[in-house]
Amino acid sequence: MYLWVYLFINMNKTQTAVEVFNKLAEHYQSKFMDVALYADTLDLFCSSITKQDAGVLELACGPGNITKHLMNKRPDFKITGTDLAPNMIELAKANNAAAKFQVMDCRDIDKLTEKYDGLMCGFCLPYLTKEEAITLIVDAYKLLKPEGVLYISTMEDDYSKSGLKKGSTGDEIFIHYHQADYLSDALTENGFKIIELKRQDYPTHDGTKTTDLILIAKRD
């Protein structure tokens, strides 16, 4: 019984998130296409992948804002971007003609058979539970080739503070905060070597600041 309740609640959170991101896709594009705030860590991800024509899988690609930065920095990358919101995928295609995109749930990467040189998870984790985030790291190791690079960014705070949050448009969405300790432990316990851990202040619409956590790791 409790498992079914958990699955129902989680599915409802996911459905709501997809509906909000479909509705606000163009607003999100106009607000977040500039990723200069994260350029240094995105560039480190690019330089850490030394192979030419490397295959990169991007999860929760949104309108292709990070994709565009990666392609500008490394036009040799072969990027496949994924997102659960179809409207985001359409924008991503329009913004990145050289990349491929498809609708996919990031929790389904264990079903993929292709291996990649890089895995980009830019602000995917705020929509995943702690357990799902750790599972993603486990699956990422299996999905990456030897010395493959994983990039994770998320909103950092005590996990217990997770809950429904209202954005600048008034729409509510469930946000999961994550902590560096258990994410770092999951990375090292699953064969990754952390090459960067950075915190970045991000000003919110109500005048406060949130802390963004960026982790870059390379598998053995």
Segment holding 89, helix H or strand E: helix 86-95
Predicted local distance difference test score (pLDDT) of residue 99: 98
* Other C-beta atoms lying within 10 Å of the C-beta of residue 6: 12
- Residues in contact with 106: Cβ distance below 8 Å, sequence separation at least 6, in sequence order: 59, 60, 82, 84, 121, 124, 128, 136
The three-state secondary structure class of 58 is: strand
DSSP class of residue 178 equals B
The answer to whether 133 and 59 have CB atoms below 8 angstroms apart is: no
Distance CA(115)–CA(58), nearest Å, equals 13
Predicted local distance difference test score (pLDDT) of residue 149: 98
Predicted local distance difference test score (pLDDT) of residue 9: 41
Task: Say which CATH number the domain at 64 has.
Answer: 3.40.50.150
Is there a domain that residue 11 lies in? no
* Other C-beta atoms lying within 10 Å of the C-beta of residue 66: 28
HSE of 146, CA atoms in CB hemisphere, 13 A: 0
**Hey, what amino acid is at 210?**
T
In the chain, the number of structural domains is 1
Is there a domain that residue 203 lies in? yes
Is there a domain that residue 7 lies in? no
Phi, psi of 115 (to 5 degrees): -105, 150
Phi, psi of 131 (to 5 degrees): -65, -40
- Can you say whether the dihedral through the CA atoms of 128, 131, 133, 135 is positive or negative? negative
Length of the chain: 220
Is there a domain that residue 10 lies in? no
Predicted local distance difference test score (pLDDT) of residue 206: 75
Is there a domain that residue 1 lies in? no
Segment holding 216, helix H or strand E: strand 209-219
| Domain encompassing residue 33 | 16-219
Is there a domain that residue 4 lies in? no
Mean pLDDT per block of 10 residues along the chain (220 residues) reads 39 85 94 96 98 98 98 98 97 98 97 98 97 98 98 98 89 95 98 97 82 98
Is there a domain that residue 127 lies in? yes
Is there a domain that residue 2 lies in? no
DSSP class of residue 115 equals -
Overall pTM > 0.75: yes
Report the interhelical angle of 25-32 vs 2-23 (nearest 10°): 70
- Residues in contact with 111: Cβ distance below 8 Å, sequence separation at least 6, in sequence order: none
For the chain, the helix, strand and coil percentages under 3-state DSSP, each to the nearest 5? 45, 30, 25
